[in-house]
Amino acid sequence: MKKILFLFVCIFIGTQLFAISPYSLENLTSVNVKIFDKKKLLDIKSYEALDKKVKKTLQEAGIKVDSENFANFLITISTFLLQDQKLVHVRLFLVEDVSIKRDKITKAIATTYSKEDFFESTLLNEDIDESVTFLIDEFITQYKEEN
C-alpha cells in the first residue's frame, strides 16, 4: 500500500512541475500566423474564418500578429486512415529564433510550444474549428499565466 501511495504522490508531483506544458511562453509579444491545410480539408470560407479567428484571439490576449522577428505560430491540419477510420490531426506549434544561454552568439530555430489533437470526424469544418479553438484556448491560458 505504501508503494502505491508513494507512486501516486510521485506522479502527482511530476505532473505539477509542468503545470500546462514543458514549454515557456514568457515575454512572447508577437508572432506570424500561418495555417497549413495541404489536403484542402477546409473550404475557403472556413479557412479564412479560422485564420481571422486565430488572429483575433491572439490579439485579444495581447499578442501582435505581425512579427518582424522569426516567431511563427503554425497550425497544421492533416488526415490519415487507421483501418477504416479517417482521423484528423491538428497541431498548433510556435517556432522561434532562440539563443542558447551558455553561448549567446549561437542562434538557432526551435519549437518553443507544441500541442496537438487527434479525432475522428464526420463534419470536418466544424470539428477542425472546435479543435483549433481548444488548442488556442490552452495556449492562451498558459500565455496569460506566464506573462
Over residues 46-71, mean pLDDT:
93
What is the predicted pLDDT for the residue at 3?
54
C-alpha span between 110 and 72 (Å, rounded): 10
C-alpha span between 10 and 78 (Å, rounded): 36
Hey, what's the cell of 78? 492533416
Residue closest to 94 by CA, chosen among 46, 28, 1, 50: 28
What is the predicted pLDDT for the residue at 106?
84
Residue closest to 53 by CA, chosen among 69, 42, 40, 41: 42
pLDDT exceeds cutoff 50 at 122: yes
C-alpha span between 3 and 94 (Å, rounded): 40
What is the predicted pLDDT for the residue at 1?
52
pLDDT exceeds cutoff 70 at 103: yes
φ, ψ at 122 (rounded to 5°): -115, -30
pLDDT exceeds cutoff 60 at 20: no
C-alpha span between 121 and 119 (Å, rounded): 6
What is the predicted pLDDT for the residue at 81?
81
C-alpha span between 77 and 40 (Å, rounded): 9
Fill in the amino acid letter for 82. L
Confidence of residue 21 (pLDDT cuts 50, 70, 90): low
What is the predicted pLDDT for the residue at 7?
45
Say which residue the cell 469544418 belongs to. 125
Confidence of residue 13 (pLDDT cuts 50, 70, 90): very low
What is the predicted pLDDT for the residue at 78?
93
